Structures are given as C-alpha cells and as structure tokens.
Amino acid sequence: MLATRIRQKEGTFYFISYKAQDLLHKVRFTSRYYFEGEEIAETKVSEHDEVAKFIASIERSEKGFQRLLNRQKIKQIVNFYETVVTQPMIPGTVLLFTDETLRFQKLDGNETLGHLSEPSGKYLVIDGQHRLAGLHFFQDKHPDQIGQVEVPCVLFDGRSADFATEMFVIINSTHTRINRSHLVDLYEKVSWESPEKKFTAKVVNLLYEEADSPLQYKINRLGGRSKQEKWVLQSEIFNELLKVVTAHKRWMESHLGMKADRCYALVRDYLKGAKEVMGEVWGNNERYMFTRDVTLKALIRVLDDLIIDRKLISDWEQQRSPKPFADLLRPWAKLAKEFRSDGFYERFPAKGQLERVRRIHQRLLDALMKLGA
C-alpha cells in the first residue's frame, strides 16, 4: 500500500489511506476488562439491538486499554454518516498499531513516499474505535455506498504493546474524554510518568484486587458505569496515596525498598487495624459514613501522619500485622456515633468535599492526640 513516512526525532510512523471495507477486516475491536459490570452480557441483549450485540462480542482483556464502546455514541455516528453529504465523514485520522515491523520501500527519488507492507495480523485501534464501529453498521445498512468511503489513518509499527497504551494515555490525558480513574489504571505502563505515580498506581491496583485487602473491589475504576457498590473513586485514593509516597519517599526507599507489595502491606494492615477497631461501622454504608469517600481519604491522611511515629512503624515491621495499628487506633471506637449517616453532614459541616475531608482528618487525629497526651 502507498504510504507517507513521517519522522519525528527518533520516532517513525506512517500516513496511509484505507478503503473502509478493507480496513474493517484488518482491525480488532478491544476493551479493557473490568469484572464488575462493564461487559454487556449477550444473553441480556435485545435481539433487535444490533449495536449492543456487536459490543457484547468485543474482545476484553486486562492488558487492553480501550474503553468499552458506547452504544448511543455509535448510533449517533451512524446517523451522522447517513446524513452528511458534502462534509467528510471521517475528517480526522484513525490511529492504528501493530507490533510487527513493516517493510517500507521508497519510491525512486523520494525519501518520504513509498510502498508499505501490511501486517499478517490485525491492527489494534489506539484512537477511533467508535468511528470504525459506526462504519461497521453503515456498511451493513448501505453496502452500495461503503465503496465510496476511504479512511485516513496514522499507523505505528514495530513497538511493544505498552507503546500503544502510552499513546492512548497521551491522547486522552490532554482533555476530558475518559474518566481519571481509567487513566490511573494505566499509569504503570506509561514511560513518561513519574516513578512515584507509577509506584502509587501499583499500590492502588493491589488494594483493589488482592483478596486480603479491606478495599477489595470497593475502589471504583469505572466511574458512573460500575454496577457494584463502591466506596471511593480510584483517582481519589490514588491522589491521597501519592501524597504519602511523595512525602515519605526516602523512608519508603530505605524501609520498604520502594516495593509496591511492601507499601501495599503497610496500607493494608493500617486499614485492617481501622476495620478491627470500628467493628460494624466498617462497610455499613447505609447507617454509617466511615467507609465513604470523604472518610477513606481522611484515613489515608492519618496514615501520612502516623508514618513518622517510628515506634509504631518499628512494631509493625517486627510483627507485620494489623495489631500495632489496631492498638493505636482504639480511641476511634468511641467516635462511631459521629459517623452515623443521620446528621453526618451537620456534625462535619463544610462548603465542599475538600473542607469536609480536612475536618474528618482533624477529628480522627485529635482522638489519637488526646490519648498521647
């Protein structure tokens, strides 16, 4: 196929044009997999909803990076394709990726134009899945018109799958196309993010998925699309833990070897200690607000304060259990009534969440300071 080779610093990629029907045979539609309800079960899809059937059949993987396709958005795109006349259907490029290294044969006397070989496998779509899904349905409904449609594409080849993930994050972190929690979930694969952010992202992932985590499956990685009870957004818990990691990086390097699993163990045992002290208050979110987002964020801030307590941390390092934390946090048991849902916002008045988190943090800390006094 004819291609224009583009070079930018050490990077090389290609600009190509595909006939729509040819491109649809060469791409894989994928989605990042989340067990808690992102998928559309085929058995629950109406036999008349062809878009939902298509989405339900899409390949899903934890190694993926794309969002699940949006039914309404696809239908809107198809409607646009059907009604547009003089305006281009796809004015922007679709970004494609293959890990195969393609062969570029220059045209005589031209450094940038040439013939590019095609991959043996299918392309991953870095950007443009909804537009291509719309083409899929436009082709079904208007087979006589699809031959008139060409799709402009930018093609990246010969890189690892993490390169495609990084491109996805770069594209989507510059504006609000996807929720912040989804981006956090991919940070550890992104080379240009800071070591602290990548480290924190790993810790949050362990808090989400490990069977011994007090927050297992209670961290919301899907924004408003999660179908299970969630306590806190992944981006919120990430931001609080990042402050802890950044403030105590030197200590974490010397005591935890800057290992995510060791930092996770510290956070896990601290939260387990709080869970033991609070008893039925923990997780009882109908009657209490202790495991709601504002309090969980305040809890992480208290941990930030406690890390400087060398005796506490020394006891934890020796025992590697929740007991040192539970022993220290015993005064919190007397605060249970203050975290009842009824009247909670009156007991912790604030103009917004930031102020409320500060008030809860201070209340929890004061209870511990009184014990020390």
The domain locations on the chain are: 2-172, 194-372
274 close to 323: Cβ distance less than 8 angstroms: no
> Tens of pLDDT along 3-42?
999 999 888 999 999 999 999 999 988 887 665 555 545 4
- Model pLDDT for residues 195-215, shown as the tens digit of each residue: 898 899 899 999 999 999 999
**Given a cut of 60, is residue 129 above it in pLDDT?**
yes
d(CA 126, CA 30): 10
Long-range pairs of 115-118 with CB within 8 A, sequence gap ≥ 24: 115/1, 115/2, 115/3, 116/1, 116/2, 116/3, 116/14, 116/16, 116/155, 118/1, 118/26
pLDDT classification of 189: cutoffs 50, 70, 90: low
Q: Please answer whether residues 89 and 81 qualify as being in contact, where contact means their C-beta atoms are separated by less than 8 angstroms.
A: yes
Q: How far apart are alpha carbons 69 and 86 in whole angstroms?
A: 27
Closest of 131, 20, 31 to residue 74, by C-alpha:
131
Here the tokens at position 80 are: 């646009």
The three-class DSSP label of residue 187 is helix
In terms of residues, how long is the chain? Answer: 373
Residue 232's H or E segment, with its range, is strand 232-233
Ranked by mean pLDDT, the top range of 54-68, 194-208, 221-235, 332-346 is: 332-346
* Res 193 pLDDT > 80: no
Q: How far apart are the first and last CA of the chain?
A: 77
pLDDT digits (tens, 9 = 90+) for 300-359: 999 999 999 989 999 999 999 999 999 999 999 999 999 999 999 999 999 889 999 999
Tell me the pTM: 0.62
Q: Is residue 131's pLDDT more than 80?
A: yes
pLDDT band at 373 (very low <50, low <70, confident <90, very high): very low
Confidence class of residue 261 from pLDDT cuts 50, 70 and 90? very high
CA distance 258 to 249: 8
Answer positive or negative: Cα dihedral of 348, 353, 355, 358: positive
| No. of helices (H) and no. of strands (E), the chain | 15, 12
The C-alpha atoms of residue 62 and residue 42 are separated, in whole angstroms, by 20
CA gap 146, 157 in Å, rounded: 27
pLDDT at 64 over 80: no
How would DSSP label each residue in 66-118?
A: PPPPPHHHHHHHHHHHHH-SSS-S--SPEEEEESS---EEEPTT-SSEEEE--
Q: Which of 155-169, 174-188, 241-255, 311-325 has the lowest mean pLDDT?
A: 174-188
Q: What is the dihedral of CA 160, 165, 167, 173, to 10 degrees?
A: -160
Rg (C-alpha) for the chain, rounded Å, is: 26
- Between the alpha carbon of residue 294 and those of residues 301, 305, 364, the distances in Å are 11, 17, 12
Beta strands 94-98; 27-28: pairing state: unpaired
Q: What token pair was written down for 244? A: 């802890």
Structure tokens given for 175? 């504006």
* 320 phi-psi bin (left φ>0, alpha ψ -120 to 50, beta other): left
Greatest CA separation for the chain: 84
